[in-house]
Amino acid sequence: MTTYAIGDIQGCFDSFQHLLDLIRFDPARDRLWLVGDLVNRGPHSLETLRFVKSLGKAAITVLGNHDLHLVMLAEGYSKQRDDDTLDEILAAPDREELLAWLRRRPMMHVENGFALVHAGLLPQWTIGQAHALAGEVEKALRSKKYQEFLANMWGSEPPAWSDDLTGWPRLRVIVNAMTRMRFCSAEGVMEFKAKGEATDPPPGYLPWFAVPRRMSADHVLVTGHWSALGLKIKPNLLALDSGCLWGRHLTAVRLPDRAVYQVDCSGEDVS
């Protein structure tokens, strides 16, 4: 069995299929780790969602901010954006089945020294603590009262973690760190406006993975979310959002040996 980690797909289904052909993916033999943001802005979100769901245990996908936006939009807790491409899912006959499946995806997956999460982890979190915190969000998303959580999930406050946090603010910080964060301060205060390159952080902030003495540095974090960062491979980081949505590349990394596979996304119609 071989495990391949793949960057943000965002509805670019054709490029995704080309990449699976390139790596000769066999769901009976191999596994996929998908960094989240399966849907939105690309042209084929519905096909992407149906296909990944059909893979069953052959694919593990964590939740990204666009995936959560879809769930919130379907329940009336988010507004449609001009660049959203989610109407096909919302009108699909299997809509409820797909949304229920998506809502039950993990926030984080940990295995064999790797940790899969969409955006990143706050510097004071160990992998064990982060995994437990992810479980708190997963429990809220899967509960019978999940709409209450969705109604209180979005927003940028509080901007930092505290062990004293409770209720919706506690869960909101976990979601924001794991699905939205790019930059934070050395103390773990998050900044959500900047989306540029890691070499140009806002004053007083760092890329989350560059904070000194980050407590999760003993694992290899497999992430996406940050297309301006591009493919970045470090001893304890595999950042895989290489901008397929923007006509660049969709990337897979074979985890055992870190072999890199890419397909050109310039032919994907994202207009």
Residue-wise pLDDT tens digits, 102-111: 999 999 999 9
CA dist 116 and 61 (Å) reads: 9
Residues 6+ apart with CB under 8 A from 267: 14
Tell me which residue of 44, 54, 132, 119 sits closest to 88, measured CA to CA.
44
CA dist 179 and 224 (Å) reads: 9
pLDDT confidence of residue 268: 83
pLDDT tens by residue, 131-181: 999 999 999 999 999 999 999 999 999 999 999 999 999 999 999 999 999
- Dihedral (CA of 182, 185, 188, 189) sign: negative
pLDDT tens by residue, 222-243: 999 999 999 999 999 999 999 9
pLDDT confidence of residue 11: 98
In one-letter notation, the amino acid at residue 153 is M
pLDDT tens by residue, 202-223: 999 999 999 999 999 999 999 9
Contact 224, 206 (CB under 8 A): no
What value does the mean pLDDT of the chain take? 96
pLDDT at 270 over 90: no
Instruction: Please tell me the CATH code under which domain 3-264 is placed.
Output: 3.60.21.10
Taking residues 94-103, what's their average pLDDT?
98
pLDDT tens by residue, 19-36: 999 999 999 999 999 999
Q: How confident is the model at residue 184 (pLDDT cuts 50, 70, 90)?
A: very high
Residue 196 CA, distance from chain mean position? 18
pLDDT confidence of residue 252: 98
Q: How confident is the model at residue 260 (pLDDT cuts 50, 70, 90)?
A: very high
pTM of the complete model:
0.97
Residue 147 CB coordination number (10 Å): 13
Tell me which residue of 270, 233, 271 sits closest to 9, measured CA to CA.
270
Q: How many CA atoms lie within 13 A of 181 on its CB side?
A: 30
Q: Kindly list the domain boundaries of the chain, sorted by start residue.
A: 3-264
Contact 118, 62 (CB under 8 A): yes
CA dist 27 and 196 (Å) reads: 36
Q: What is the dihedral of CA 90, 95, 101, 103, to 10 degrees?
A: 40
Residue 1 CB coordination number (10 Å): 9
Residues 6+ apart with CB under 8 A from 160: 122, 173, 187, 188, 189, 190
pLDDT at 271 over 60: no
pLDDT confidence of residue 269: 65
CA dist 125 and 130 (Å) reads: 6
CA dist 142 and 149 (Å) reads: 10
Tell me which residue of 148, 78, 72, 140 sits closest to 104, measured CA to CA.
140
Taking residues 39-52, what's their average pLDDT?
97
